[in-house]
Amino acid sequence: MIVSSQRELRILSSSVLNGGLTKSRFIINHHVPKNSHSRNPERYLRQILHKKNLDQNTVGLMTAAEMDNTIVINMNDTGFPISTVVTAGTSNALAAGDRAGHLHLKTGTINMIILLDANPTDACLVEIVKTATEAKSLALTEMDILSRISNKTATGTSTDTVTVAATDRGKPIKYAGTATVLGSTISRSVTKAVKEAIRKQDGISSTRISAVRLQERGITPEKTAQVVFQRLRKRSEKILKKHILVQLKTLTEKTFKNEKIASLVVASLKMFEDCSGKQASVRRARGLGEGVARLIGGEEAVSCYRESCPNRVRSPSEFVMEGVVSGLVGQALDIGQSRRSWWKN
């Protein structure tokens, strides 16, 4: 994808090629195959510029996202045109503060290009970068995109870039914070563009059901049924045959498809995903876990839950998941008592 201008643009960019504060008439966003890694991406992009007969001072970005999935949003709320151009993939999503060095072989980049037919100062360009980054993080939060290594709410990917380009026409503009008309316009444009780009590239919708959100957290019917099966084996005096595991998987799938239950579990997990396990959070998680257990399996499940974690030290999310497991154990015990075929040797 090539952004071209008849007028030379003043550009601030974190791009791979010709980043920093510079001037150019061209910006490219170049598609590379997934898991493609060049030891010298600058040289690689210069070869692309040569093939396309573009100036060597062109600002160059790279992404594995398909160019057909580019989102362009034009707005004029400020009295001058603003265009936001975004490609986005989240396979490499991370949260600020995640340990460095992870997922370096994965692809997934959010490239944002913001074009203004205006004259922002250099300081204002920096503030636009800040405002756009805040808006991107808000979009990821609202879409419930998780870090691939910490399960915290993602704030971006490990290779995101921001490019702001201005024509330098008109009166100087000093500010672009979220309290300004310019900052508000950019925020709304970026948030919308990032969401739509993720939807097109990754097929992720902000309205996806809670069962899908559980799977994104690694919580699947198969894994959960295995844990419930082992728990029942410890509780039961009878030998549990493998066929019960299949029935437990069906029971778990049915439970996760119950939007009331699944949404409570997701909401409970989200409440604690970004906290550090403070005592107050642990107390709330213990109570939520018991509530989840009761909703899924009734009072029998609550008894199971209290037996499993009376005073054990756990993370908040572990208490919530213990509620899920105890709830399913309670359900299975009820079914086992009413349907003896479940427990036949």
d(Cα 341, Cα 282) in Å, to the nearest integer?
Answer: 39
pLDDT of residue 108: 78
Q: What is the pTM of this model?
A: 0.87
- What average pLDDT does this structure show over 306-334? 87
Quick one: how far is CA 195 from the chain centroid?
A: 10
* 3 state SS for 47-111: HHHHHCCCCCCCEEEEECCCHHHCEEEEECCCCCCEEEEEEECCCCEECCCCCCCCCCCCCCCEE
pLDDT in tens, 86-119: 999 999 999 999 987 655 545 679 999 999 999 9
Residue with tokens 């990917």: 157
Contact 54, 4 (CB under 8 A): no
Contact 181, 131 (CB under 8 A): no
pLDDT of residue 18: 97
**Helices and strands (H and E) in the chain: how many:** 9, 11
- What average pLDDT does this structure show over 311-335? 87
What does residue 77 show for φ and ψ, rounded to 5 degrees? -65, -25
> Which DSSP symbol is given to 237?
S
d(Cα 305, Cα 286) in Å, to the nearest integer?
Answer: 10
pLDDT in tens, 120-136: 999 999 999 999 999 99
**Burial of 80 per CB tally in 10 Å (0-12, 13-18, 19+):** middle
Contact 169, 119 (CB under 8 A): yes
Where do the domains of the chain lie? 2-202, 210-343
pLDDT in tens, 182-224: 999 999 999 999 999 999 999 999 899 999 999 999 999 999 9
pLDDT of residue 151: 85
Which CATH number describes the domain made up of 2-202? Answer: 3.60.70
d(Cα 202, Cα 208) in Å, to the nearest integer?
Answer: 13
Enumerate residues 6+ apart whose C-beta is below 8 A from 341.
Answer: none
